Structure 1
Amino acid sequence: MLQPETSLKFVVRRRAPELIAPAAPTPRELNPLSDLDHQPELRCQLHGLQFYRSHPKMANKNPATVIRDALAKVLVYYYPFAGRLREAPTQKLMVDCTGEGVIQFLTAFGEMAQGASSPSVLPVWQRELLFASEPPRATFAHHEHDVEEKTKAINDIGTKDLIQKSFFFGPNEVSTLRRRFVPEHLQRCSTFEVIAACVWRCRTIALQFDPNEEMRFLFPFNARDKLNPRLPVGYYGNAFILPSVVSTAGDLSIKPLSHVLELVTKAKALVSEGYVRSTIDLMAIKGRPLLTVPRSYILSNVARLGFSEIDFGWGKAAYGGPATGGIDAIPGLFNFYMHWTNQKGESGVLNFTFHNLTS
């Protein structure tokens, strides 16, 4: 488990929120979102943090002013972000671009903070590229939507029973897992797949589910590379889906890690353009089906999204990414697989937020 490198104390004064409007007039229009945007699990807020070290060239600049001015400028191009969400009678969301008001947008945000007159990549809306087929057809099984229960927390465990801890999986740790548990025919699997299988199995054992209970592992998957034709450069809509793996608690607990790893790799390999289109069509057929939350676990891979690369003038972020590890939307449902560099310069990942089994 990672230990804090230093104890840092500083004072933060909370002030009233300030509305940042686009710096120039923007179109007044009603923009429909895609069917992929209508996944109900997206209707939540996730908090992020960006930390930057001081930089000589920014010594005389007020960070608040730099960020405020850059946000106003970039909203001229990304004006839907300055709009309001409206729900149609069909429960589908649209963006009402009223002008009152997030890695492509942040990159553009950083470029404007450094004096650019326009983003290097202009935004593309075109949500119609991910509309459902006519008529819609779900041609794959989507176990992530099998049971529609409005469960707010796994096993009724709330935030008071959750603890946040950071764990470092560097080259040595991952190499040990591969050497001890990964058979020859699975050696080409990714680090994410190895850690996902390990964490899902250990979590299931620790929570002591009934052996016959059906467990699910879900992982957000970027579908952009699976689409043909590809989405245009600059498209900034949602393009991820949530493939799932299903197994019983008994099999996860008793069978070796290699068995769980094979389940994960097969589920990932199953994702094709047809699977993506089937997911989109399912949203239209079932009318925004809810996620199967009970006995589910999500591990979200944000290691390569590039949050730490966002530069507002102070260089790369010392840390950029999620502020919490699964407490925001549905307590205990998910963790993040993240990039981190330790004091030795080794790259690893962090997973945090677990059930406190001692409470």
Structure 2
Amino acid sequence: MVSFKARRSEPQLVSPERPTPCETKPLSDIDDQHLLRYYETVVGFFRNCPGRTDDRPADLKGTFKAALAEALVYYYPVAGRLREEAGGKLVVDCTAEGVVFVDADADVRLQDFGEPLLPPYPCLDQLLCDPGDVKAVTGRPLLFMQVTELKCGGFVVGFHMCHNIADGFGMIQLMTSVTELMVKASPSLLPVWKRELLTTAQNTTPIPYPNPAYKPLLNSLDSTSDDVMLSIPPNRMVAQYFVFGQREVAALRSHIPGHLADSTTSFELLTAVMWRCRTIALGYEPSQRVRLMVTMNARGRWNRHTLIPWGYYGNAHVSPIVELTVDELCRKTLADTVELVRETKLSVTKECLASMVDTTAYIRQRPSLTMDRTYEVSDTRWIAAVKGLQLGWAEYVGGGIPLAGDLTSKLGSHHMRCQNEDGEDSTVVSLLLPRPAMERFKKEMAVWLNKNDKNLQIYPVPSSSYML
């Protein structure tokens, strides 16, 4: 595996290119969750398009910095600072103080990161600038970005962004605007704030009729954790990535009836199998209750009952939860588990979204929340399909959220799009587990894939790649 050390500039503060409103903006109740008080990490790899190098700017990093300054005119709250008001609620002071930008060079080529390009990416710490304490979000820049130019002409964009300001869709929307502004005068999609759309009209009293999808969250208040996933520190865990190509997905589909196999999405199928294998691997007692939390983007045509406008870059995700005992989960057929995953996804309605807003507002007043025996899954494969990240002279070829779990919960898996060693469009799924549990997980997964675990395509994370 390649090893290198990037040559970095000193961190610079980049402010909006032109004057912007000086005001204070409230966050939504979805934004203002204690669980989101951290910096999410995203990395993207770009390569030059053959025959288009004449269009490439002579000063790539300078052009990127200038485009970032222009983007901050539209996304001016990102250039401000978070402040906690009395009562603990966060607001954004739009001060135009700026975001952190670092330019860097690395004597490696894009192909040196691996073919196919898959996480874990080598020397990830060299592609990201240092954000300091990733759990301290008030009074600090809300974005830390590094652009690293490679000797082949390709480049890597790595950033840490405060999750209270934007969800994954919003972060990519901002980055799309930056790349667009490198080649044209204005972004194709203008940002929308409107955080009041996801702010509760309730007071802080207990919710009288919570949506069933969120009762497990309310039941977690003031409870005591006995989950090994929460008691073991991340540096004693193993992070790995599992690649599912056409053969692997076909093998998993063979375990469910034909009529259901044809309609099941790969996300539903992989989530069902991994939840079962993970639960068994962690050795929970049969009577203990386990949960699946499916984090979904509330935007889009599939979700017409919501009022989230295009351009909204705040947190607009819903996370319905299903709960049952370990014994109930393990006795179900795979087909039944797939149906359970699907029902959880389809439970997202206008009423469910409103209930989530009320629930998160109430929980914010009671931050002693535990997430015992919870498996959180999100589908981020759409990042690879974002056409706005194509620059004409360069194109996005891979990346996403490069860490297994996140920097606060350790409980999540991200589904990311990739190509496998045969060049097929595939899904890579991250997972973080204690070492003994990871070995049990691989054995369980190998049974479902109908093959020896030695042939299972797994990408371990070097210890230097997992940053806390």
Same fold by TM (over 0.5)? yes
What displacement does 1:15 show? 4.5
CA distance in structure 2 between the partners assigned to 1:159 and 1:91 by the alignment: 28
2:7 to 10, 13, 17: 13
CA distance in structure 2 between the partners assigned to 1:322 and 1:150 by the alignment: 30
CA distance in structure 2 between the partners assigned to 1:184 and 1:40 by the alignment: 42
**Deviations 1:275-299 (Å, cap 9, x if unpaired)?**
0011112223443555542211111
Q: Secondary structure at the match of 1:278?
A: helix
CA distance in structure 1 between the partners assigned to 2:177 and 2:4 by the alignment: 30
1:125 lines up with 2:193 in the alignment = yes
What displacement does 1:181 show? 3.0
Q: Is residue 137–residue 281 contact of structure 1 (8 Å, CA) maintained in 2? A: no
Superposition map of 1:55-74 within 5 A: 55=49, 56-57=53-54, 61-74=58-71
Q: Which amino acid in structure 1 is aligned with residue 74 of structure 2?
A: Y
What displacement does 1:353 show? 3.1
2:276 to 198, 201, 207: 201
What's the counterpart of residue 104 of structure 1? 173
Change (3 A) 1:287 1:167: closer
CA distance in structure 2 between the partners assigned to 1:192 and 1:229 by the alignment: 22
Change (3 A) 1:124 1:150: farther
CA distance in structure 2 between the partners assigned to 1:134 and 1:308 by the alignment: 37
TM-score (norm 2): 0.69
TM-score (norm 1): 0.88
What's the counterpart of residue 324 of structure 2? 247
| Structure 2: unaligned runs, 5 residues or longer | 99-170, 438-468
Q: Secondary structure at the match of 1:8?
A: coil
User: Which structure carries more relative contact order (alpha carbon 8 Å, separation 6+)?
Assistant: 1
Change (3 A) 1:138 1:16: farther
Q: Is residue 146–residue 292 contact of structure 1 (8 Å, CA) maintained in 2? A: no
**Deviations 1:205-238 (Å, cap 9, x if unpaired)?**
1111111111111111112243546323322221
| Structure 1: unaligned runs, 5 residues or longer | 1-6
2:396 to 317, 322, 328: 317
Q: State the aligned residue count.
A: 351
Taking every aligned residue pair, what percent have the same amino acid on both sides? 34
Superposition map of 1:61-210 within 5 A: 61-101=58-98, 102-114=171-183, 116-134=184-202, 138-141=209-212, 142=214, 143-148=216-221, 154-182=229-257, 184-185=259-260, 187-210=262-285
CA distance in structure 1 between the partners assigned to 2:208 and 2:385 by the alignment: 36
CA distance in structure 2 between the partners assigned to 1:334 and 1:283 by the alignment: 19
CA distance in structure 1 between the partners assigned to 2:365 and 2:68 by the alignment: 32
Change (3 A) 1:286 1:51: closer
What's the counterpart of residue 263 of structure 1? 340
Q: Is residue 260–residue 335 contact of structure 2 (8 Å, CA) maintained in 1? A: no
Change (3 A) 1:357 1:147: same
RMSD: 2.6
CA distance in structure 2 between the partners assigned to 1:137 and 1:272 by the alignment: 18
Q: Is residue 298–residue 335 contact of structure 1 (8 Å, CA) maintained in 2? A: yes
